[in-house]
Structure 1
């Protein structure tokens, strides 16, 4: 798809309608460059796709049926791990474009769209990095079953931008900050430095993603004259029964400006 849309919302809708993950990633990067260069300059409005298009593979299954992701010298477990992470990154691309097209009617500063376009570009780059590594290991994205429940966070927040920001960057992506450093250590222990280096890139980028999401969550709280910590915890109480998963990488979360004051009181300690 080489013809650029006239507005960012149209670009977002078109990205969501691309089924092939490689094409979606490349188109996402193309649209990000166009927005950043000013070739696409208006946010506009577009019809919201009911859900992202996808190919027949990977087959989506419950979390309990996803292949084991054990990091060993045997590449099978590492392939399963990288496949699962590539699936998460593809989901993240969709979430970025969905937040743009879905909430385009909500008055937000241009910087909000700058941030989410930049994050979509990052997530597309991450997906391509992981797909490339899978090919180097003799596999490909779509070769294994994948988690079926990842879109639920979008569905439960589809009518509320504040809730979307509370859940996607500040719960789901923040969880990535908790688990990725340990995965990097295990990959390096089996001398898979190539995979570890790619995850380090992803981890470093995700710190800024959490920070940006928190920034805009707090912006909306300020608009509504709400205490952001109390508001975030109330959303978590409603959507996650008041509990977020531990253990936490407090160092990474602190780098994102996301202190334990937020999540400590609602942790499943």
Structure 2
């Protein structure tokens, strides 16, 4: 249960604001806290971090539903039936909710890193846009007489936080450059299917998400290259090393090479990691 009084007290640091949003279990209030943190940060009314900041949680705040299950037990979703489209939108809403917390976590966890202030500008922009995506998908579920939490979901995305909690470079490699980049690969075909079944409303939301996700991957690529330059690493080689060490899933082909390249993620990064593309 969240601290109901905390939302009335303005945070003094970005790290505090991000952690309070992470801890929030009420999802409307989580979005509100995220947007408030962005407004205060971009208004230059927050410091970055302070010794009095609250402790970073092991897990984000969540409501009682949806029930979390193993990724292997989540059924495949078809857009060709109303129930299938609802299940697909629910799964996307779950991804976007996790994406809010992933962006907040990178800000809070690595607040003491020696990076330019614009690093935090980028990730708070990501947090704000992921909150927008979650809202769009939640409202679409309501239009279809459903809601987020009505179906089971899996907890695979948060495992990326645990696997990369020790290193900013690993976090950048796995979250924006593997997980978010995957969205660039699969969304175009999903858009085609939605248009084919006449679901223009959901397709319009996915267009917004797709274009924003290109920016998110680009932010990840920018700061990954920044770290590699500072540490004297070859970016593509370092990326492959970190992914092999920290990512538990598969790097799946086919790839949307054009969209990835537009975001600064060229095939030299990821092709060697996918057996099917060698």
Give the structure-1-normalised TM-score: 0.96
- Offset at residue 108 of structure 1 (A): 0.9
- Offset at residue 268 of structure 1 (A): 2.9
**Which residue is 1:200 aligned to?**
207
1:101-124 CA distance string (max 9 Å, x none): 111121110000000000000000
**Which residue is 1:59 aligned to?**
67
Taking structure 1 as reference, are residues 232 and 48 closer, same or farther at Cα in structure 2, changes over 3 Å only? same
1:258 counterpart SS class: coil
CA distance in 2, matches of 1:176, 1:89: 11
CA distance in 2, matches of 1:176, 1:207: 9
Aligned pair 1:122/2:122, yes or no?
no
Matches within 5 A, 1:78-93: 78-93=85-100
Aligned pair 1:20/2:10, yes or no?
no
Q: Is the 1:67–1:144 contact (alpha carbons within 8 Å) kept by the matching residues of 2?
A: no
Q: Is the 1:91–1:151 contact (alpha carbons within 8 Å) kept by the matching residues of 2?
A: yes
- Greater shift in the superposed pair: 98-107 or 130-139: 98-107
- Offset at residue 175 of structure 1 (A): 0.4
- Offset at residue 75 of structure 1 (A): 1.2
Aligned pair 1:33/2:39, yes or no?
yes
- Offset at residue 181 of structure 1 (A): 1.1
Taking structure 1 as reference, are residues 193 and 71 closer, same or farther at Cα in structure 2, changes over 3 Å only? same
2:275 counterpart SS class: coil
CA distance in 2, matches of 1:186, 1:25: 30
CA distance in 2, matches of 1:243, 1:101: 28
**Which residue is 1:150 aligned to?**
157
Show structure 1 runs of 5+ residues with no match.
Answer: none
Taking structure 1 as reference, are residues 62 and 241 closer, same or farther at Cα in structure 2, changes over 3 Å only? closer
**Which residue is 2:113 aligned to?**
106
1:56-89 CA distance string (max 9 Å, x none): 10000011222431101x3100000000000000
**Which residue is 2:3 aligned to?**
none
The alignment covers a number of residue pairs equal to 267
1:138-157 CA distance string (max 9 Å, x none): 10000000012221111000
**Which residue is 1:50 aligned to?**
58
**Which residue is 1:172 aligned to?**
179
CA distance in 1, matches of 2:24, 2:229: 36
> What root-mean-square deviation, in Å, do the aligned CA atoms of Structure 1 and Structure 2 show?
1.3
Show structure 2 runs of 5+ residues with no match.
Answer: 1-6
**Which residue is 1:69 aligned to?**
77
- Offset at residue 243 of structure 1 (A): 5.3
**Which residue is 1:263 aligned to?**
270
Taking structure 1 as reference, are residues 4 and 67 closer, same or farther at Cα in structure 2, changes over 3 Å only? farther
Q: Is the 1:237–1:243 contact (alpha carbons within 8 Å) kept by the matching residues of 2?
A: no
Aligned pair 1:3/2:9, yes or no?
yes
1:162 counterpart SS class: helix
Aligned pair 1:225/2:232, yes or no?
yes
